[in-house]
Structure 1
Amino acid sequence: MRSIAKYVRKHLLLFVGVIALILLLDALLYFFAFQDMVRPNQGTSSPGYMTEQTAGQLSYNDGDYSLSSEQQGRLRQHAIWAMLIAENGSVVWQFDLPNEIPQTYSIQDIAVLSRNYLQDYPVFVWGRDDGLLVLGYPKDSYTKLTSNFLPYDSVKNLPWFTFGIFLLDALLLFGAYLLSSRRISKHIDPIIQSISTLSKGQSVQLHVTGELSEIGKSLNQASEILNKKDHARAHWIAGVSHDIRTPLSMIMGYADRLAQSSFADEKTKEQAAIIRRQSVKIKELIEDLNLTSQLEYAMQPMRISEVSPAKLIREMIAEFINSGLDNRYTFDVQIEDTLQSKTIHADAKLLKRALRNLIQNSITHNPDGCTIVVNMNTENDQLYMSVSDNGKGVSADMLKNIVGALKRNNQESDYASSRHGLGLMIVRRIVEAHHGRMTIHSNSGNGFEVKMIFNG
């Protein structure tokens, strides 16, 4: 969308502007720093000025050279020594000359020292009619270049100054990154969160201003459209379920009367009983479909109360046993003694429905009989309720399809569309409505287990 491109361009230009500003700041820092370091050596204490003043105040009278006391004081103040080399290369005058300094020089020596150093002393020269004036500064006070000279401190401090500038640049860039990141996150994070929420089938209401307001409006419109479709679907399922109940009740009633009628022959009674049983299955499927829809779209009212899970388990098993369950199916109830009186906040009706679906699941898919184990325990402050059997189970591929269908809420898959799959989907919806989670374990030939995990 154009708003995204505009948003990205804006922040890229902002970041480029920050880099340009940092480079400008670097240039200014270098200028003022080096100007500050060099300026003190460009005034009255600079080699050029000091050499010129010494040459001007050095006089020759009565066969001897003399330098004004004022200039001598300036030279000593800066630890500068001086000498005058005559045209024959000999030193004819000297001032505080170090012992290691030679007294005679060749033309080559003079050429070298005038451009470089003399015994590691940075020296500076000034031409006079009677010779060459040489001023020597303390060692490590100046560094000399072939075309210029710089204070030694300036060159010595250059690496540290460069490192400081680099560190300052890094801090400024990092600060710019943090500010930009926070600003971008402030605008992008709500959009990402809304997209994630929409992907889970939940509605969103996003309030975004600025360049990304167009995206916010689009997400709100998409959420509104999905909400309308979800509500239309849920109401359609509820309406169809309601419309089917009345004629289905009549069919079940007439089939029941016909199956018990003394006027009907045995074949007719048998067919009427089949109609009644299939009608009951249709009714249960409609109820399951309606409950799934209500749970999926949060239209099922939750009647939360203090519930004893142990009591619900015993009641549920008693219902199956009293309903004339085949002797090929047996129950094994495993509840820790400390949990017999434990209560949780839950919807008792929905929890019983979940247990019924899981137990019925084991019965339906093990027609040759099995042992159904209902277990309840605690671990890490969580309550575990599981229903397992020692029946035929499912293969690894089938288990993968089951879990995948439940995660995708895919009610159109072969497994999820079966009575078995719809039952598990209802269980999952019930568990999630109680802020819990469900796990499934199975191996072909080694039974099937479903665990419901709730916060204790």
Structure 2
Amino acid sequence: MKSIPKLIRRFVGIMMISTMLLVILNIAFYIIMFWKYTTNTSAWDIADKAAESLRFTDSGYTLSDEIAAELKEQNVWAILIDDNTRQVIWQTENLPNNIPKQYTLSDISDLSRGYVDGYPTFTGEAKNGLLVLGYPRDSYWKLIRPSWDYHFIADLPKNVLIAFCMNIILMFLIYAITNSRLLRSIKPITNGIQDLSQGTPVQLSEKGILSELAANINQTSSILQKQAEQLRKKETARANWIAGVSHDIRTPLSMVMGYAGQLENTPGLTEAERKKASVIVKQSERMKNLINDLNLASKLEYNMQPLMREKQNAVAIVRQVVVDFINMDIDDMFSIEWETADTLSVCNINADKDLLKRAVTNLVQNSITHNEQGCAIYVSVAEHDNNCIICVEDDGVGVSDEQIEKLNNTPHYMVCDSNTFEQRHGLGLLIVKQIANSHNGTVLIAHSEYGGFKVSIEIPK
């Protein structure tokens, strides 16, 4: 399936984005921390400034007011060790009592890079000696014996980059290995879901980390197959029932029509009796047509009606239907107008000629049946966007917007098992829709520009 590579790319993309985001957040965190603890002036710089500001006056050594205030603010003590005697010749007032007053060269070496009695110390070169600043014990962490190989420092940026890339690759490999089983399990699951949508039986292996999902899909497939089998039996029973009832009705109906026709033509009947016999004949004929419509609708619904599709001229077929109605000598209240453009004489489509004639006949007859006071019927054929459009409309009573909506969107009771009491429109329009569907076409029902009812059949050429 095409979704599997897409899913893998999505997983990898999420992993890469997550990794990069994690790296960026870590870098940002360390930058912030570094900036927080290194933005203040270095203790070594303060020691150098203090050494420069130290002056000898008549009253002794003194620091500048600015340096003195800064040292006091940070609780820093200071001493000045004489170059010759290596004794403390000056000190600040806050000097702890345990700080020595005499130093050897070894002591000076130690305090220059480390601590004095636990106080981190920093030195600056004064005019007559060495100025030592002592910071609070928990203020600085000093590395007393730092020493690194030159090449280690020189190659550090390259090595950090290599280590970073190796970490990314390692994370990707760990992710791919841990998810490979999941991805292998996903493929049959997705294939099974695709088969379910096509009605194909599915039986997945119920192993691995997605075994529960596979079991649910297998159960769903079993339920769907049972439902499909029940539906096939139901549809077969319905079709057989319709065919059987239609066959059983035809024989007695033919007898009724025959005897009613004989009675209608019997010379000794009164006029009232003759009219009754005529009504029986007409209603019997109507019942016969209804049975034929029911059979045809059932066959079209269950794909039992053979289609003899050939290249046909839709203009000629529709015109023939109009001519047949005119030759039937229909009531004068109904007129049929041929509205096809004179420039359109051929509109070829791949169609079953008899079924197409039946569809147009149903539409014309529908206008006659539902307009008892008479109407004008307009029939036309047109071409649009490589489609053939057959239109039958009238200027009769028409229908409401709500009825138009239902006729366009509500299933017929022949093809729907729910809300059947709200769908009792006749079989004529259903057959028209079924014929159009069998030709990959569509049917649109609307209001006519002449004020009545309009049905358009659109069939691709």
TM-score class, shorter-chain normalisation, is: 0.5 to 0.7
How far apart are the structure 1 equivalents of 2:282 and 2:241? 26
Q: Which of residues 217, 221, 227 in structure 1 aligns to 2:226?
A: 221
How many equivalent pairs are there? 339
Report what 2:189 is aligned to: 184
Q: Secondary structure at the match of 1:295?
A: helix
Does residue 417 (structure 1) correspond to residue 424 (structure 2)? The answer is yes
Unaligned 5+ residue runs, structure 2? 1-7, 24-103, 114-121, 206-214
Larger Rg belongs to: 2
Q: TM-score, normalised by structure 2?
A: 0.62
Report what 2:261 is aligned to: 256
Q: TM-score, normalised by structure 1?
A: 0.62
**CA 1:261–1:218: 2 relative to 1, 3 Å:** same
**CA 1:297–1:159: 2 relative to 1, 3 Å:** same
Letter of the structure 2 residue corresponding to residue 108 of structure 1: G
Report what 2:296 is aligned to: 291
Q: How does 1:225-240 map to 2 (within 5 A)?
A: 225-240=230-245
**CA 1:339–1:227: 2 relative to 1, 3 Å:** farther
How far apart are the structure 2 equivalents of 1:372 and 1:328? 11
Q: Please report how far the alpha carbon of residue 300 of structure 1 lies from its aligned counterpart in structure 2 after TM superposition.
A: 1.0
Report what 1:281 is aligned to: 286
Q: Which of residues 110, 134, 142 in structure 2 aligns to 1:108?
A: 134
Give the share of equivalent positions with the same residue, in percent: 30
Range that drifts further, 241-250 or 103-112: 103-112
Does structure 1 conserve the Cα–Cα contact (< 8 Å) formed by 2:394 and 2:448? no
**CA 1:354–1:443: 2 relative to 1, 3 Å:** closer
Q: How does 1:347-386 map to 2 (within 5 A)?
A: 347-386=352-391
Q: Secondary structure at the match of 2:144?
A: strand
How far apart are the structure 1 equivalents of 2:293 and 2:396? 25
**CA 1:110–1:324: 2 relative to 1, 3 Å:** closer
Q: Please report how far the alpha carbon of residue 284 of structure 1 lies from its aligned counterpart in structure 2 after TM superposition.
A: 0.9
Q: Secondary structure at the match of 1:89?
A: helix
Does structure 1 conserve the Cα–Cα contact (< 8 Å) formed by 2:447 and 2:454? yes
Letter of the structure 1 residue corresponding to residue 338 of structure 2: V
Does structure 2 conserve the Cα–Cα contact (< 8 Å) formed by 1:394 and 1:442? yes
Q: Which of residues 189, 193, 201 in structure 2 aligns to 1:206?
A: 201
Q: Which of residues 384, 387, 405 in structure 1 aligns to 2:392?
A: 387
Q: Please report how far the alpha carbon of residue 177 of structure 1 lies from its aligned counterpart in structure 2 after TM superposition.
A: 8.1
Q: Which of residues 333, 339, 342 in structure 1 aligns to 2:338?
A: 333
**CA 1:444–1:343: 2 relative to 1, 3 Å:** closer
How far apart are the structure 1 equivalents of 2:174 and 2:405? 51
How far apart are the structure 1 equivalents of 2:137 and 2:421? 100
Letter of the structure 2 residue corresponding to residue 86 of structure 1: L
**CA 1:113–1:245: 2 relative to 1, 3 Å:** closer
Q: Secondary structure at the match of 2:134?
A: helix
Does structure 2 conserve the Cα–Cα contact (< 8 Å) formed by 1:384 and 1:452? yes
**CA 1:410–1:402: 2 relative to 1, 3 Å:** farther
Does structure 2 conserve the Cα–Cα contact (< 8 Å) formed by 1:393 and 1:444? no
Q: Secondary structure at the match of 1:253?
A: helix
Does residue 454 (structure 1) correspond to residue 449 (structure 2)? The answer is no
How far apart are the structure 2 equivalents of 1:344 and 1:238? 31
Q: Secondary structure at the match of 2:411?
A: helix
Q: Calculate the aligned-residue CA RMSD, in Å.
A: 4.5
Q: Please report how far the alpha carbon of residue 296 of structure 1 lies from its aligned counterpart in structure 2 after TM superposition.
A: 0.6
**CA 1:101–1:162: 2 relative to 1, 3 Å:** farther
How far apart are the structure 1 equivalents of 2:138 and 2:423? 97
Letter of the structure 1 residue corresponding to residue 429 of structure 2: L
Report what 1:402 is aligned to: 407
Letter of the structure 2 residue corresponding to residue 124 of structure 1: I
Q: Secondary structure at the match of 1:237?
A: helix
Q: Secondary structure at the match of 2:430?
A: helix
Report what 1:37 is aligned to: none
Report what 1:308 is aligned to: 313
Q: Please report how far the alpha carbon of residue 290 of structure 1 lies from its aligned counterpart in structure 2 after TM superposition.
A: 0.9
Does structure 2 conserve the Cα–Cα contact (< 8 Å) formed by 1:259 and 1:270? yes
**CA 1:338–1:222: 2 relative to 1, 3 Å:** farther
Q: Secondary structure at the match of 2:398?
A: coil
Q: Which of residues 307, 321, 324 in structure 1 aligns to 2:326?
A: 321
**CA 1:112–1:403: 2 relative to 1, 3 Å:** closer
Does structure 1 conserve the Cα–Cα contact (< 8 Å) formed by 2:196 and 2:202? no
Q: Deviations over 1:379-438 (max 9, x none)?
A: 2211111111122211111222222333773487456434xx311001111111112111
How far apart are the structure 2 equivalents of 1:442 and 1:272? 39
Does structure 2 conserve the Cα–Cα contact (< 8 Å) formed by 1:191 and 1:206? yes
Q: How does 1:41-190 map to 2 (within 5 A)?
A: 86-87=105-106, 89=108, 102-103=124-125, 104=130, 106=132, 108=134, 115-116=141-142, 123-125=143-145, 164=168, 168=172, 182-190=187-195
Q: Deviations over 1:134-188 (max 9, x none)?
A: 76999x969xxxxxxxx98699879967995899499859988876654432111
Q: Please report how far the alpha carbon of residue 112 of structure 1 lies from its aligned counterpart in structure 2 after TM superposition.
A: 8.9
**CA 1:294–1:427: 2 relative to 1, 3 Å:** same
How far apart are the structure 1 equivalents of 2:421 and 2:334? 27
Report what 1:131 is aligned to: none
Unaligned 5+ residue runs, structure 1? 1-14, 31-84, 95-99, 117-122, 126-133, 143-150, 195-204
Does structure 2 conserve the Cα–Cα contact (< 8 Å) formed by 1:304 and 1:347? yes
Does structure 2 conserve the Cα–Cα contact (< 8 Å) formed by 1:393 and 1:445? no
Q: Please report how far the alpha carbon of residue 305 of structure 1 lies from its aligned counterpart in structure 2 after TM superposition.
A: 2.4
